[in-house]
Amino acid sequence: MDAGRNPLLDRLREAVAPDFTVERALASGGMGTVFLGHDVQLDRPVAIKVLRPDVATANWVERFLREARALASLSHPNIVPIYRVDERNGLLYYVMEYLQGETLAARLSRGPLPLAEVLRLGDELLGALEAAHRVVIHRDIKPANIFLRDGHAILTDFGIARPSGDTSSGLTEQGSPIGTIGYMAVEQASGGAVTPQTDLYAMGLVLYEASSGRRLPPLTPVERIDWSGVSQKLRGSLRRALQWEPSNRWPDATGFRRALAQARERRRQLTPMRTVAAITAVALIATTVHEIWPTLHSTSPTCPPHANLALLPFHMTGGITTLTGEEFAGLVGAKLDWYGRLAVALPGCGPTGPGDNKPDPKLASSVDYVAEGFVVPRGSGMVLSLTVRQGAQLFDHLEIPGDILDVLSWSQVVADSLVSRVFPPYSDEYRRLGAGSSPGTSLQAWRHYFDGEREFQRDAYNFAKAQYDSAVVLDSNFVQAAWRLGIVKRFLRLPFEEYLKQFLVRHPDLPVQYRNLAQALLEPVLEDRFARYEETVRDYPRDGYARFVYADELFHRGPLIGIALDSALAQFETAVRVEPYLDQMPAYDHLLYGYLRLGLRAKADTALAHRVEIRPSGEPDDAQRRRFFRLAYDFRYRPSLAGLKVWALGLIADSTKLEGAGRFVRLGSSFDIPNAMVPLGRVLVRKGTLPYAQANGYMGIGLGYMMMGRPMTALPRLDSAAALYSRPVEASWPVSPGFRPVDSLLEQAEWRVMPGVLDLPGISDTAVAGGRRTLEVMVQRDQSAPRAAFALATDAYHRGDTTAAQHYSGVVATLASTDTGVARLSLLLTAIQTAARGHPDSAIALTEPLLNYGPQSALVDPFSRSVLYLRRAEWLRTGRRHDAADRALLWYQNSDNGLEGWPQWQLEPGEVDNMLGVYARLLRAEAALARHDTATACPLIARVRELWQDAEPGMASLKQRAEDAATRCPP
């Protein structure tokens, strides 16, 4: 044998081939040797730790497996991730990330760390221990087991970790302590029970050494510690961590970490330079807002430009204290509003000021009739003396007796009287439909309903839901409250389809427009769904609520059948004009959202002005939306200011606020502001405390880079997101309805293969081949892997490999009979195969059913919807159906993520659509130029060039197409 040969290296190379290659040994310890390897499939360096055969006793095998299992069960950005555990060729090994950088021990050999770095080090390592202690106790925390990479700490070497539930002795043999004596707690060194507090003691030693530059002698009593060189802000936290008695230390890593966070906050507040910087940032933001505010500010309308009737709050006399005049008028107005044919300005629109019941002159000119009333005692009862004016003239005077103890029935009589006396043409239909009637008997339920209406109009969806829920609990037959509850569930992205089905069964006598709206919401065929909406809006032109629901549906799903986003915005504008006091906040949310996405700044200015001047509701979600909408506007039009705001956010926001805002990081793709996703994602990754929050940060960064034409930069971030999403879900995490655990290897492989299928270049050939190999292995090992088989089939068709395409299509087809979503994938593959055989028209016909809307069907594969629309556009162009092809390419304007709940977990179809939206705009612009339509093409191509201005070299072909198209636009 050659003297320079390493027999273990040779055996390992043979064992891990062909998935990995092995280059050289990196380090050797008591039980294992670590080698540098390369993952052939995913084109990345790895570290491979193998148990040395000469120590492979049963005890050492169990210890090695314990380390592997401990690492495999953990997924945290500050813990080295494990990719595979296996036993081949008589060798037990596991594969983990190859960490490039230096250890903390090497760094400390050059001196102590600055306080800011010590605090960040503690925050990250204690975050890692928060995750680890759910599973294991590390037992060997020391600077040599901590890697520093890009300024962040990675905890390694779980070789002597013990399961968290096992608090037995730390000895392997009598009198032999496990660990490194210089970093042991007294109970570990003496063979006592180890607990999470054992690791916290070691963490205290590490942070002491990092801060002071000195290593404490083993088991130094806390009262004898030399604290010179250690910041006062750290001493209290470290003093508690280094107590000899475990019960006197921090109870867990979370408590220790919070104490360090408070020290960071105190430092942030007291450090002069940082304080000056923060004040400067705030001053600059305030100055900028002050400068632009006059251009944004306008008066939000509070009354409709035209209404049939304005109801002023009634005057209550006779000592009535159980009911307010606004409530009484509100009850009457709600019954008229439920009818839908009449535009009614409800109480609060008309009076000029609090307690002023005189009609506003502006209001009097914008409505047909104004009604005001006085509730007065008469005999043994009460009478509502109601005056109706038409302009300045008295139109009618009604006296309607009733019982204040039965105000619901009384308000019904008042509503009926107004229709019959003031609007006689509607009287017969009103009575026939029973539109104003409601069997509700609880005034308190109506109060909850009115509160819910107010909260919903202010964008406080959670508050509104609570009020509507209370109303329905008090009165299960309260149809108005039950209907609004269904709508607010939908706005909160909660499951609502089954609720609506039950609602239609429970309330068979709904007014026509509401029955139509409910049935439309449940209609899977989008063409039929929108036909129902159009019919309802046509028949009830003054029902702003019906128009609002229609506009909302157009906004989210209209592009899926070729209806442009600006059609939805026109409906929202009309809804606001018809009933501006109705759902103002949600309407302006959508208007701002849409105008930002379309790049229409002047209209976005107006929508933002209306949005921000509506009084905040106090709901946390409302506050987050307000901040995000302002920030989205800045990233679109004032990116320098936006960058400053994110910098300030990173200084002052706590982890709770950041985790709550995590969904907005990923919504950036829908707002067409990928430049926001990267810096916001970085803040979330750095300061988020839970894995799903950090995963959202990585996902936001990755999607942002993909939209900006930087796929190779995106891949490591998307890999990190997938790895974090794959960890077991804890009960306290906000799991979205329909959540499925993420297979990290599958998603990582898809990101390497599917962009090419979708005509996006830029992923290296090596990475594509690695992703393809991973997918092939998955299908070989599990024939029930439709998502992997679908990706391989579409990839094979794209490459022209019909043999492989048919094989993997067959795998999908075998599973189609038992799963609706898989059946949709199989039908799409059949259509692709049909088109490949030269029959694009048949392929188009085959895919028509796939345009039907089913929120759960898209979950099988998030890339499939983009594949569907891009291929349909291609087939339509082949058949010279250019208008239809252009409508198909509008699909990317949808904002339907494909499942209920906010985007906080697995990759969603809408996010892939948004990513492909840049390429789709290039295709639309090229098609428009072909027909000499520069008015359509040039704004599209300008945005494409803006988004791809820093694209990677691999995107050069598409970027050149954009540049060529731009030469045909006027300067």
Q: Which residues are catalytic?
A: 140
In the structure encoding, which two tokens stand for residue 892, read together?
């990317």
Instruction: Report residue 18 as tokens.
Output: 């062909």
Alpha-carbon dihedral of residues 846, 847, 850, 851, nearest 10 degrees? -130
Contact between residue 537 and residue 546 where contact means Cβ atoms under 8 Å apart? yes
Amino acid at 233: K
Beta bridge partners of residue 85, listed in sequence order: 94
Maximum Cα–Cα distance for the chain, whole Å? Answer: 119
Helix (H) or strand (E) holding 619: none
What's the rounded Cα separation, in Å, for the pair 363 and 351?
9
Map residue 309 onto helix, strand or coil: strand
Of 822, 90, 757, 772, which Cα lies nearest the Cα of 780? Answer: 772
Pseudo-torsion of CA 382, 388, 394, 396, nearest 10°?
-70
Give residues with Cβ within 8 angstroms of 627, minimum separation 6: 661
For the record, the structure tokens of 564 come out as 């442009």
How far is Cα 436 from Cα 603, in angstroms, rounded to an integer? Answer: 38
Please provide residue 794's backbone torsions phi and psi, each rounded to the nearest 5 degrees: -65, -35
Question: Residue 729 CB: number of other CB atoms within 10 A?
Answer: 14
The whole-angstrom separation of Cα 480 and Cα 793 is: 50
Cβ-contact 137, 70 below 8 angstroms? no
Q: CA-based Rg of the chain, rounded to a whole angstrom?
A: 33
d(CA 718, CA 736): 20
Provide the 8-state DSSP code for 904: -
Burial environment of residue 83 by CB neighbours within 10 A (0 to 12, 13 to 18, 19 or more)? buried
Q: Which phi and psi angles does 321 have, rounded to 5°?
A: -120, -10
Q: Is 562 left (phi over 0), alpha (psi -120 to 50) or beta?
A: left
**Distance of alpha carbon 960 from alpha carbon 955, whole angstroms:** 9
Q: What does DSSP say about strands 82-88 and 171-173: parallel, antiparallel, or unpaired?
A: unpaired
Neighbours of 527 (CB within 10 A): 11
Q: What's the DSSP call for residue 693? A: H
Q: What's the CA gap between 43 and 851, in Å, rounded?
A: 37
Q: Are 33 and 8 in contact (CB under 8 A)?
A: yes
Helices (H), 739-801: 744-757, 765-781, 786-799
